[in-house]
Amino acid sequence: MNNKQQNDEIQQNQHQSSDGTAIEPRDNPDRPGRQFYIPSQIVSEFAHKGRDHLKKPFPGQLVLALTAGAFMTFGAAFSILLAIGIEAKGLYYLLSGFGFAAGYAMVFISGSVLFTEVNVLLPTYLFHSTGFMQRNILKFWGSAYIGNILGALFVAIIIKLSGSLSTSFYTELSTYIDHKMKFLDNGFTGWIQIVLSGILANWLIGMAAFLTTAARDITGKILGTLLPVVLFVAGNFQHSAANMGYFSMGILSNSEYHWYEFLFLNLLPASIGNIIGGGILVSLLFSYAYKDDIQSAVDNN
């Protein structure tokens, strides 16, 4: 058999993934083609998403940040609704995490701009690009954060004015908020604990983004979102975007805490931890590990 015939046979027995990579032969039932992106492709997608977010006009960035914050409040509300009256702790955490995963799924699939996801996407893009100190980066980061807060508060106001939720919902909400604000009893040590808890939280949410990006269908994306979210909810790890959803409803429900306590004694240290968890432990570590595979793809686009 000559070289041309061999090449023709190889092409007949192989098919390509959506990115043009040859994968397993069609006629081998024991080795089907993979239905997910490999890690280097996932990190490359992060870099492209980070670049694309930066290129969006500011009004578009802000609108997507508002929608992401809105989805956080929807997720927070759903997590409480599913867990009301559940006594078994394992089932309670499972249902609560399942409820909040709905908010994250809406964010990831819609392309909305969530501050904690930005902590993964932007460092990945910056790691593989020149001109690290671009002028619009801080503006984008700030707009994502402020937009998330405003979006979360907007939905909380509508929920409150609608009168849709029962008294038992707000009782359960108070329990959730007390659980998140328990660190205040430890003074400065508690502030540091929130930073560390925030690292864990966005390490997990960064991996949720990782798994979601790996999946090629909606079912896979939802499952990829679900598993890390259930874990961070069960662990009470402090995720600033998630807490925005809970706190926005807490401010409007006669909570014992003031807005500045939510902002400076929880969201601020949680956000610092989230930047470290997402930016370093997910984005930069994987970017460094796969930098040789990614660099050419980023440069050519």
Contact (Cβ atoms closer than 8 angstroms) between residue 242 and residue 72? yes
Q: What is the pLDDT of residues 159-210, one digit of tens each?
A: 999 999 999 999 999 999 999 999 999 999 999 999 999 999 999 999 999 9
pTM for this one? Answer: 0.85
d(CA 222, CA 55): 27
CATH of domain 39-294: 1.20.1080.10
Q: What is the pLDDT of residues 68-102, one digit of tens each?
A: 999 999 999 999 999 999 999 999 999 999 999 99
In the prediction, which pLDDT does 51 show?
87
Name which residue leads in pLDDT, 13 or 54. Answer: 54
